[in-house]
Structure 1
Amino acid sequence: MSARRDAPLSGATDQCPAALLEVADCVLFDFDGPLCDLFSGRPASGVAERLAGELRDVAPVVAASAAGDPLALLQAVAKHHGSSPATDRAERFLTAEEAEAAGVATPTAYALELIGALDAGGWRQAVTTNNSPAAVIRFLERHGLSVPAVAHIHGRTSEPGLLKPDPHCLVRALESTGSTAQEAVMIGDSPADCLAAKVVGVPFIGYAVNGRKRRALEDVGARCTVPSLRGLLEAARRRVRSREPGAGPPAAGVHG
């Protein structure tokens, strides 16, 4: 059942995305979507097919139901088999596939520049994703980025039940960055991202590249969405300029 459309989301109601970013001290990124198109070079349908083939001898019923979404397939294995060799095998196989995909993944427009601007502007950063940390690390290293540090990459663990919308990775990210929920903002593109942010009280900016994505986010209570990261990049760069010598005091509502 969808959440009421008039339900507030972590204080984000009626606030524009740039304002949410400017008053935050910490940014939590989802990975596949806001930072890159993970399966742009190795399509998710092919990954799901290969994962299903890997599971035919240990989880034949689940493998037969594969429908093109490798993460959903992993979750189905975990649901039917719990903590088991089948689930472990699925997680290891998907981790390897995601790392390969990250090696050729297309960065989201303005994402790499946004990471750099946030670093220059003094924001703490972390990645909170249902994908493997290995995939995030490979993507960032491929582009010569050390921010966020490996210690602030919080991805899938050996327990698929802790995937978003469970807030487990967000809680870990807040702890690792020394941030409170009120000091942070999350940028995500899925209803699961939005729901996880709601649970811990982190304001949420939805990255919605089309109307379908935007409606899906609105259905779970998102009030702040952007079709591009360009506006957030411009907001981050304003804060960087405000810190330059001779720039004068920062604009009202902006702090470092």
Structure 2
Amino acid sequence: MTPTYFESPESSPFALLDAAECLLLDFDGPVCELFARHPASLIAEEMRRYLDRHGIRPPNPATARSKDPHAMLGEPWPPGVAAELERILAHGEESAVPSARETEGADEFVRAVALSGRLLAITTNNSPQAVETYLKSHSLESVFGSRIYGRDQYDPARMKPDPDCLLRAMTALKVRPEQCLMIGDSPRDAEAARAARVRFLGYARSRSRVARLQEIEPHPVVVGMGDLVVAASALSRRPNG
């Protein structure tokens, strides 16, 4: 079993899941590695080629060197430019879905959470269409239904760390922040959860990523899905689960 980094019994995976009525999951990381075989840097390069062809200079000079297409999209572009960059990114994300690598244990985890009677939703900076395509390809659409709250194509500046997708999810599902738990794999996930007043559990693929997840403030972190699968399975077997 891989270690769980938490400071009290109340912050253990079982306690956090037990206290939550709704689980808000980041997509790229806790559910899958979207860009495992289709690097995001290739999408960023295509976005730069579009800008170069049209003689458009990024508002931030560092953007011209960025390998992160989401960071590029989040810049304050004119509406027409933002729409084209959004189109390129959304197409790139959908193209990455067939080669995405499932996070080990993720399918088992979300199915167990669903069996425990808890709501599940995706809150992500990725395109909702790419998420939907992935979930269908893994027969998980019944687990999440229409509860996919992805990037707002008309206002990409509201990607995490802005709490917009979490707030939209809670409004649509009629749940309060204290009823929710977010699981994410990046500091921007932790920051968005804090801004939305939602409890946060960090997911790290390896021990080396634990410190990165606690940059904003100390948070419980699980390494791998093992502890989460055990906790969710226990909840799903409870008589009142």
- Determine the C-alpha separation between the residues in 1 that align with 2:208 and 2:72: 23
Which residue pairs with 1:67 in the alignment?
Answer: 66
Aligned-residue CA RMSD (Å): 1.8
| Residue 86 of structure 1, aligned match among 75, 81, 90 | 81
Does 1:154 pair with 2:149? Answer: yes
1:211-252 per-position Cα deviation (integer Å, ceiling 9, x unaligned): 443212212014200111111111111111113xxxxxx6xx
- Determine the C-alpha separation between the residues in 1 that align with 2:31 and 2:55: 32
TM-score normalised over the length of structure 2: 0.89
- Determine the C-alpha separation between the residues in 1 that align with 2:27 and 2:54: 30
Unaligned runs of 5+ in 2: 1-5
What secondary structure, in the 3-state scheme, does the structure 2 residue paired with 1:185 have? strand
- Determine the C-alpha separation between the residues in 1 that align with 2:112 and 2:124: 21
Describe how 1:229-244 pairs up with structure 2 within 5 A.
229-243=225-239
- Determine the C-alpha separation between the residues in 2 that align with 1:66 and 1:88: 20
Unaligned runs of 5+ in 1: 1-11, 244-249, 251-255
TM-score normalised over the length of structure 1: 0.84
Which residue pairs with 1:109 in the alignment?
Answer: 104
Which residue pairs with 1:164 in the alignment?
Answer: 160
The number of residues matched between the two structures is: 229
Which residue pairs with 2:211 in the alignment?
Answer: 215
Which residue pairs with 1:28 in the alignment?
Answer: 24
- Determine the C-alpha separation between the residues in 2 that align with 1:45 and 1:60: 19
State whether residues 185 and 204 of structure 1, in contact with CA within 8 Å, keep that contact through their aligned partners in structure 2. yes
1:34-85 per-position Cα deviation (integer Å, ceiling 9, x unaligned): 1110101211121211222123234632397132111112123xx2x24x11
Identity of aligned residues (%): 36
- Determine the C-alpha separation between the residues in 1 that align with 2:168 and 2:158: 12
Counterpart code for 2:160: K
